[in-house]
Amino acid sequence: MSRLPRVVIAAPGSGQGKTTVATGLMAALRARGLTVSGHKVGPDYIDPGYHALATGRPGRNLDPHLQGEERIVPLLRHGATVPSPADVAVVEGVMGLHDGAVGREGFASTAHVARLTRSPVLLVVDVSGSSRSVGALVHGFANFDPELTLAGVILNKVGSETHESEVRQAVARTGVPVLGALRRDASLDTPSRHLGLVPAAERGADARRTVESLAGHLARAVDLDAVLAVARRAPELPAGQWRPSDEVPRLAPTTVAVAGGSAFTFRYAETDELLAASGAHVVPVDPLHDEELPPDCAGLYLGGGFPEVYAAQLSANARLRGAVARAARAGMPIVAECAGLLYLCRDLDGHPMSGVLDASARMTGKLTLGYREGVAVGAGPLVEPGMAVTGHEFHRTQVEYADGRLSAWRFRPRPSRPHGLDAAVEEGVVAGVGGSVHASYLHVHWAGHPGLASRFTASASRYSAGVRC
């Protein structure tokens, strides 16, 4: 894998068509008989779901803030090796090429990941509102960062042959080749809602048809041979591959349930891999349909998703809500992130939830989005007090807690804020028997903090053995 062919799909900004091009490119290359590894820069759960459909293997994330710079290449190599060696890796960027964590000079940007992985960049440009000016834009991106290789441009939303010709002539002056041009086509649009695209897992056959259509569209509009030639010119990768078995000790076998189904689609692939490596038998549970936790269940992980969209259906599954409440009262270790936090509340938008937490949740019009650095406040099944993690928030809901809660995290001041402005912000809650429940809005990538997986598995093993937290 040291010679892994690879390419980064970037853009001048959000909404230019990166996901369309990256997903379609993955699917088109797979249709050629190649094994493709799909990756996404940043803390994104939705795009990797489409990548998984396109490639037939798990979608992976690369994020220096969540995982640490030193893990980016090892995680890229891991994703391109498991479950089988890939012929090529396609990395979809985030926002604009140079946009990263606010106040940190492009840290965790697409450009940052491209530099760390020494990957050539293809720039997707929405040309619907311009023509010759695209040449000036490409010239700027080609010269802004001398450490990056801008290897090609893919034009998106071209209006006509004349329009395409005008843009191509302007870009030719920059020396950066145009490798494809996609015409405007509303049939390729993917439905969106309050947090972005509707996840592929919720759309079922419609999502598969979208990806198949993208594959055909990209195969016709983009020079796939030229893209592969760019990918194969990528230099040798530094040594080292991430392996979950190297990150966590093997503990006593135990059964851990993880929330899945349409309402809980946000979970990083490495979470399951780390749990399994630490000795956990990972069993998916769909809170929309499953009425019981798995037999011998000793721990429950509730990740992210859209419970606000499915609140009525989640509430209607009273048997599972009751089972979760009983497990919490018995001291079973429970970890909840964002959507999981809402499911543990008394109610969500008036719909009864599991009632594990003395809290109420509701939808709001405010988007909370951004990287966070958290320090654990209370001990629980996931952390010890004082343990530091990196994570992110992404939600439009608000939770109102009863007085006197023990918070899960205390957030450090963000670099973009005046010193101390949000130094006292605390978030989430540690509750349950002996602090057996750890719930918050903070999403943490466990590959960046593998001790979380081993601590959770150890908590579940103790519970299984009859030792309560």
Show which residues are catalytic. 338
Handedness of CA 117, 114, 15, 126 (dihedral sign): negative
Three-class SS of the chain: CCCCCEEEEECCCCCCCHHHHHHHHHHHHHHCCCCEEEEEECCCCHHHHHHHHHHCCCCEEECHHHHCHHHHHHHHHHHCCCCCCCCEEEEECCCCCCCCCCCCCCCCCHHHHHHHHCCCEEEEEECCCCCCHHHHHHHHHHHHCCCCCEEEEEEEEECCHHHHHHHHHHHHCCCCCEEEEEECCHHHCCCEECCEECCHHHHCHHHHHHHHHHHHHHHHHECHHHHHHHHHCCCCCCCCCCCHHHHCCCCCCEEEEEECCCCCCECCHHHHHHHHHCCEEEEEECCCCCCCCCCCEEEEEECECCCCCCHHHHHHCHHHHHHHHHHHHCCCCEEEECHHHHHHCCEECCEECCCCCCEEEEEEEEEEEEEEEEEECCCCCCCCCCCEEEEEEEEEEEEEECCCCECCEEECCCCCCCCCCCCCCEECEEECCCCCEEEECCECCCCCCCHHHHHHHHHHHHHHCCCCC
Nearest to 299 by CA among 120, 166, 469, 162: 469
Identity of the amino acid at 79: G
